[in-house]
Structure 1
Amino acid sequence: MGSPIRVLHVVVNMNRGGAETLIMNLYRNIDRSKIQFDFLTCKKGVFDQEILNLGGKIHRIPYITDGGHFHYIKSLKQFFKANHHYKIVHSHMDKMSGFVLKAAKKAGIPVRIAHSHNTQSEGGFAAKIYKDYAGYFISKAATHYMACSKSAAKWLFKEQKAILIKNGILAEAFLYSEEVRRQTRNILNYNKEHFVIGHIGRFNEQKNHSFLIDIFYELSKVNPNARLLLVGDGTLRTRIESKVKELKLLEKVKFLGVRNDIPNLLQAFDVFLFPSLHEGLPVTLIEAQCSGLPCIISDQITEEVDLGLGLVNFNNIKGSPNSWLVNITKRSNRKMNILDGIKSNDYDIKIGAKKIEKIYENIIPRNELYKKESSDVSNQLSIKAR
């Protein structure tokens, strides 16, 4: 048997974002004797050591914010020129994938995948114009399109057909446990009387933390036992911490930072609050539903995220905090034993891992696969001759 197909995934860093979590979930569950993941990143990430332990390689170049546009483009060209042995490049940079895949195409890499994880670009006016420019090259350089949802595909690829790769999870790890809930709430110093609102996500404009705090502020007025857990980190964390202090909510809000015990924390929540301004298909909402948790979410999130388990309530993102409060208080009860519902919607990562394996194995042009197999045989003969 020859060496595995090495797929180069391109991200800014391998931290606990939605796309990165999906990649790692796939990586842990694929047959790594057939498919191996390598990474081109710009910054260190929390998953780096695990990637190395799983046999992956991590390459790093400076990001645009470090050296500017021309330095970034030059770094991409130099990298792919030196690493043109890759047969598959899988870019998760949304519109910025245009620059990545253009450089990969110039280096002669045969399979170039653009993967959409969002429905809108982040940043101000200038940043969006720049990303639109980058996105222009996707249709000219990508050989294949993938997306986490239909809305994410339509946003980035317009009318181009895309392969849907659902944001799967290891479902068994998130199933509700009364014992885990009790232990986790004890660690957090919460008792049975506390009503715990939870949120998981980066502190950036997209996640809309400021509005989330407004909602919780109104809730705290009518329920003195309400508590808020915020999981994640990001550039706006300090600003949100200041707002919490100004509203005198410090004793009721915990900032937990980046965590590796998400399944346990979900058990401790009573409601998952998610007022994002835009999303592709957030994996955290799949995880929350798997734990049977009622989810009060923005109407800007695709309806595809609702698994039909009676746990998702969509709310007008332009509504008042009090309009959200009504739905929080009228939330559905926590659901138990919903593993079959997760699997029937194809959100079990084991299903997704098998799907992506087949895609990678079948996607390489036959002539390129022949070159690889010939190279493997030549290497083996060379080793035997020594």
Structure 2
Amino acid sequence: MLRVLHVVTDMNRGGLETMIMNYYRKIDREKIQFDFLVHRKHRASYDDEIESYGGKIYRLSRLIPWSKKYLNTLDDFFKEHGEYKIVHVHQDCLSGVILKVAEKNGVPVRIAHSHASSQDKNLKYLIKLWHKRYIPTCATDLFACGKEAGDWMFSGADYKIIKNAISAKDYVFDIGKREKIRKELNLGTSFTLGLTARFSWAKNHYFLLEIFSEVLKMEPSAKLLLVGDGDLRENIEAKINELRLTGHVIMTGIRSDVQYLLQAMDVFVMPSNYEGLGVAAVEAQAAGLPCFLSEKVPIACKMTDSVYYISLSEPAKIWARQILSVKGKERKNTYQEIKDADYDIDENAQKLQMFYVKRMEENHEMN
């Protein structure tokens, strides 16, 4: 059996983590097994499922690229685990830190995978840009979730697009499921906006709340369903109070039943500041939802005729009016459209499996 080591921050329910799990569930685990090197000591949402499939989880401290202690610990890890011939790294700009140490320890196949077309503009931004430059020099293969993510991360080097595929059949619109989950959430007949996303600057929840505030002026019984969690949760809660939206916003936290929560929504709104692709928007389209996306979400994310792009330069009131223009629009089964766009997981998992096997065969031939 070939064991592939995926390197991540942790395996909570974010976009890239869900993408990895979608592939993990569908590959032939008799032939290929995923193990995980994470950078948090706590257990995460997907850990139980990983271990149920036979995956191993190794834990390091936070990735600090200038920390000698961290680099020595990472070096020791690869020295102790020579069984890994493929390392697949999902640490965006800092992926080169891992890959350089893997290269030093003779790991033959070293993959850097880009999931974003930018980074948060915080104190770490310049440090990340500095390290980003070195990724193509220590990776043997470059992956990206889309063109924007690949062009930004790899600066002209060749890369392969690995689609953020989903199990499309799990999201097909079902009126019975919709009524059940709406009853559980006490939504009644309220026009419901929704977003499934980590609470981070990239996802732009603050602007979403401003949009929703404008929607409420025109549709006083409307609700907003926020699915997820993250570092900005307290700030977002403060914004909800500031805009006097308490009672209209439902925060579900991290959930394992996103496919059902999407059924409960009437529209999906994603005013992101940047996206590598936007797997949450793919899921929303698979659920037949009208989707309102910022221009920062790549056009490749559009798979149905119910996707509407609006510029972030437009005021919240314009967003609100366009969102309300689809109120009452009939939901449809979009399964075939997702499959035709090649975003169903079954075929994509086979492609990734074949890639891993082929690269190992090539490595054996070279040796």
Once the two structures are superposed, what CA deviation does each residue of 1:213-265 show, in whole Å capped at 9, x if it has no partner?
11111111111111001111111111111111122211101111000110110
Equivalent pairs: percent with the same residue?
41
In 1, distance between residues paired with 2:31 and 2:365?
13
Which SS does the other structure have where 1:115 is aligned? strand
Once the two structures are superposed, what CA deviation does each residue of 1:33-84 show, in whole Å capped at 9, x if it has no partner?
111100000123110111010011111110136x973332222212112212
Report if the CA contact (8 A) 1:110-1:365 is conserved: no
Report if the CA contact (8 A) 1:87-1:368 is conserved: no
Q: TM-score, normalised by structure 1?
A: 0.91
Once the two structures are superposed, what CA deviation does each residue of 1:74-130 show, in whole Å capped at 9, x if it has no partner?
222121122122110000111110101001000000000010100002241x31111
Which SS does the other structure have where 2:224 is aligned? strand
The total of aligned residue pairs comes to 364
- With over 3 angstroms needed to count, the CA separation of the structure-2 counterparts of 1:188 and 1:360, relative to structure 1, is same
Matched, 1:319 2:318: no
Deviation of the 1:326 alpha carbon: 2.0
Structure of higher CA gyration radius:
1
In 1, distance between residues paired with 2:58 and 2:270?
34
Bigger shift: residues 217-226 or 110-119: 217-226
In 2, distance between residues paired with 1:32 and 1:369?
24
Q: In structure 2, what is the equivalent of residue 19 of structure 1?
A: 16
Which SS does the other structure have where 1:364 is aligned? helix
Q: In structure 1, what is the equivalent of residue 305 of structure 2?
A: 310
Deviation of the 1:138 alpha carbon: 0.8
Q: In structure 2, what is the equivalent of residue 292 of structure 1?
A: 288
Report if the CA contact (8 A) 2:215-2:321 is conserved: no
| Amino acid corresponding to residue 35 of structure 1 in structure 2 | I
In 2, distance between residues paired with 1:221 and 1:9?
47
Matched, 1:251 2:250: no
Deviation of the 1:370 alpha carbon: 9.3
Bigger shift: residues 342-351 or 318-327: 318-327
Q: In structure 2, what is the equivalent of residue 346 of structure 1?
A: 342
Deviation of the 1:365 alpha carbon: 5.1
User: Alignment RMSD, CA only?
Assistant: 1.6
In 2, distance between residues paired with 1:113 and 1:14?
18
Q: In structure 1, what is the equivalent of residue 116 of structure 2?
A: 118
In 2, distance between residues paired with 1:115 and 1:275?
24
Report if the CA contact (8 A) 2:136-2:142 is conserved: no
| Amino acid corresponding to residue 148 of structure 1 in structure 2 | C
Q: 1:78 aligns with which of 73, 76, 79?
A: 76
Q: In structure 1, what is the equivalent of residue 36 of structure 2?
A: 39
Superposition pairs of residues 1-386 of structure 1, within 5 angstroms? 4-43=1-40, 44-64=43-63, 69-124=67-122, 126-192=123-189, 194-307=190-303, 309-331=304-326, 333-364=329-360, 366-368=362-364
Deviation of the 1:153 alpha carbon: 0.7
Following superposition, which runs of at least 4 residues in structure 1 exceed 6 angstroms of deviation? none
Q: TM-score, normalised by structure 2?
A: 0.96
| Amino acid corresponding to residue 303 of structure 1 in structure 2 | I
